[in-house]
């Protein structure tokens, strides 16, 4: 990092200090500056922090194109929210229904009685598939997942899987009778006034991707965070039932750190938090007890093959989480 860039960060934070006037006793401005510098050093493109529903910090790297934000796997958590609306609107009865009810052509899933709960909790029986072995490398995502075989029995273990969430996307379409993009728009994006957000298709152009890659903005992402903090309510509207939000944020039986497609940290860091995560460093971390939302976009430095240090898994952990929660006095 150059001295000039570090100076830029300090000036931006100093410019924001007046915005802290009404909450100066709750937010440590020095810790905020340190947090922004740290994210800048790790290739962040944007950082947005909200406290009690108000945007208190916004920083961006002016050398990077920040017209959009790519969710990567953050979208998985949104797909989890969309499933709540399927129940709320009567498209499905409950998540213990067998997936075969909607996907009869998925032979292995039907033979092994995979349920919606298995897919939502990453316990269907897929191992994590990367590179050329998984759905991410396929042109026709739906064709691939509907012909996939499980690696072990459902309910045996937690294993993070893109395939599971793409299968959920197909169920969503068949249960609702709508294309995934139209469903997300009607039941999630439109109620949240996320006017700059939309799903993307796979390379075949046939299928909507529900496990990652959504195009959005950092401001639109913040509305998802507010929805979760407000227990499914946005403004005066109950977009998702409070019951579903509560169930989604409970640890699964096989992973104390995972709910219905949300990462949970209830005992490892200084403050409990909930997060939606995506490579290489796109994330939203919610601290319910502090009413704090931290959102980070990484739009420019994304070449994981040439620069594996760009990936969030290389540097993100308890220490990073504590840097964020540490801005609270």
Q: Nearest CA to 295 among 191, 224, 194?
A: 224
Question: Shortest CA distance to 154 belongs to which of 16, 254, 19, 29?
Answer: 254
Residues 161, 254: contact at Cβ < 8 Å? no
d(CA 112, CA 117): 14
> What pTM value is reported for the model?
0.92
Rg of the chain (C-alpha set): 20
Q: Is the pLDDT of residue 22 over 60?
A: no
Average pLDDT of the chain?
Answer: 91
CA atoms within 13 A on the CB side of 83: 31
Is 118 within 8 Å of 155 (Cβ atoms)?
yes
Whether the pLDDT of residue 24 is over 90: the answer is no
Mean pLDDT of 233-249: 97
pLDDT at 20: 40
Please tell me the number of Cα atoms within 13 Å of 152 on its side-chain side: 10
**Of 266, 265, 224, 228, which Cα lies nearest the Cα of 245?**
228
CA distances from 69 to 115, 183, 286 (A): 32, 21, 18
What's the CATH architecture for 69-302+316-325? 3-Layer(aba) Sandwich (3.40)
At residue 209, the pLDDT reads 98
What percent of the chain clears pLDDT 90, i.e. is strictly above it? Answer: 84
Percent of the chain exceeding pLDDT 70 equals 92
| Backbone phi and psi for residue 42, each to the nearest 5 degrees, phi listed first | -110, 30
Cα dihedral sign, 200-203-207-212: negative
pLDDT at position 130, please? Answer: 78
Using 50, 70 and 90 to split pLDDT, how confident is the model at 64?
Answer: confident
Which residue spans within the chain are E strands per DSSP?
Answer: 46-51, 54-60, 69-70, 215-216, 233-234, 237-238, 263-265, 273-278, 282-287, 292-297
Is the pLDDT at 17 greater than 50? The verdict is no
User: End-to-end distance of the chain based on CA atoms, in angstroms?
Assistant: 29
Q: Which residues of 289-319 are buried (b: 16+ CB within 10 A; e: fewer)?
A: ebbbbbbbbbbebbeeeeeeebbbeeebeee
**Token code pair at residue 158:** 């937690």
- Domain ranges in the chain are 1-18+28-42, 69-302+316-325
Considering only CA atoms, which of 52, 84, 71 is closest in space to residue 259? Answer: 84
Residue pair 47/58 in contact (Cβ under 8 Å)? The answer is: yes
Distance CA 158, CA 118 (A): 9
Report whether pLDDT(143) > 60: yes
Strands 215-216 and 54-60: unpaired
């Amino acid at each position: 990092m150059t001295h000039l860039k570090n100076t830029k960060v300090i000036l931006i934070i100093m410019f924001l200090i007046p915005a802290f006037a009404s909450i100066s006793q709750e937010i440590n401005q020095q810790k905020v500056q340190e947090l922004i510098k740290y994210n800048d050093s790790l290739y962040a493109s944007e950082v947005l922090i909200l406290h009690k529903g108000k945007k208190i910090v916004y920083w961006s790297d002016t050398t990077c194109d920040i017209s959009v934000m790519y969710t990567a796997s953050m979208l998985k958590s949104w797909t989890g929210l969309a499933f709540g609306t399927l129940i709320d609107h009567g498209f499905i009865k409950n998540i213990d229904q067998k997936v075969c009810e909607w996907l009869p052509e998925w032979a292995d899933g039907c033979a092994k009685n995979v349920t919606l709960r298995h897919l939502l909790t990453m316990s269907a029986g897929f191992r994590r598939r990367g590179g050329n072995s998984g759905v991410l490398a396929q042109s026709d995502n739906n064709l691939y997942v509907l012909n996939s075989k499980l690696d072990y029995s459902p309910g045996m273990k937690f294993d993070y899987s893109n395939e599971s969430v793409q299968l959920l996307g197909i169920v969503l379409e068949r249960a609702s009778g709508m294309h995934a993009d139209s469903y997300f728009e009607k039941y999630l994006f439109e109620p949240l006034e996320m006017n700059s957000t939309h799903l993307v298709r796979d390379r075949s152009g046939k299928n909507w991707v529900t496990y990652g890659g959504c195009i959005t903005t950092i401001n639109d992402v913040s509305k998802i965070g507010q929805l979760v903090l407000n227990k499914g309510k946005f403004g005066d509207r109950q977009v998702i039932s409070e019951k579903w939000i509560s169930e989604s944020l409970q640890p699964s039986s096989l992973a104390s750190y995972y709910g219905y497609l949300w990462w949970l940290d209830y005992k490892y860091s200084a403050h409990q938090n909930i997060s939606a995560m995506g490579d290489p460093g796109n994330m939203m971390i919610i601290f319910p007890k502090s009413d704090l939302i931290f959102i980070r976009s990484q739009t420019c430095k994304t070449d994981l093959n040439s620069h594996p240090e760009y990936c969030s898994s290389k540097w993100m952990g308890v220490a990073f989480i504590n840097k964020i929660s540490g801005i609270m006095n």
